[in-house]
Amino acid sequence: YSGLVLNEEGYRRLAATPLDRVNCTLAATETFNRRNGNASLDEALARVLAILERSERPTTVTISVAFGCPFEGTVDPGVVAELASRLNAAADEVVLADTIGVATPGQVRLLVERARPAGVHLHNTRNTGFANAYAAFEVGVRLFDASVGGLGGCPFAPRATGNVATEDLVYLLEGDGVETGIDLDELVRVSEWLERLLGRELPGQVYRAGPFPSRTAPAADSAATSSSV
């Protein structure tokens, strides 16, 4: 289990817990860093690098708004690639986040090839999240942030939906022959339980439609004919 930290105070608190991993975050734009962490981009980067140097636990750094910022709009891929290069040298994992769900598969493919992150963190706000995940998979990504039922959001993007639904992503990958090690039927049951707990329908699709059966039952008349032979 990991804990999310923005600064050294957060790191000190995490260090007093049994959590296994340190997850730092910084944004690819000045404005988002100031709104989210009260620091400039350079200050946020310095904070993260200091935490990475101190940490005795495995580390992940998530670069938020890597594909688009609610305050500054389009983000320069060169800035993201430079951040990723510096962080890849210090962290165990670097993750690119489409925080407000604006990326398209072509953009994901190009930035992943350029920045070489270990993973991606995708939102399905504009219904491109799963296409983006598959595009990232095709160019080497094997680490995906996802959430049961597609829960989540962003306080700076009120209309942003949650992360890609875990069960939907598992269905997509397993259907293409990728072994995830996750029991989809059990995962669907967890989403159904969560829906009952929250008292509302979740954004995910597979838990409502159900996994596609691997074997189709014979039609009733065919079964009757067979039994009479």
> Cα separation of 122 and 125, whole Å?
9
Q: How many CB atoms lie within 10 A of CB 135?
A: 22
Q: How far is CA 102 from CA 68, 105, 160, 195, in A?
A: 6, 10, 10, 26
Coil, strand or helix: which one is 59? strand
Cβ 169 vs Cβ 133: under 8 Å? yes
> Cα separation of 130 and 75, whole Å?
21
69 is catalytic: no
Q: What are residue 3's DSSP bridge partners?
A: 22
Cβ 127 vs Cβ 103: under 8 Å? no
> Of 96, 112, 154, 187, which one is the catalytic site residue?
154
Q: Where are the beta strands (DSSP E) in 99-147?
A: 119-122, 143-145
Q: Where are the beta strands (DSSP E) in 126-195?
A: 143-145
The set of catalytic residues is 154
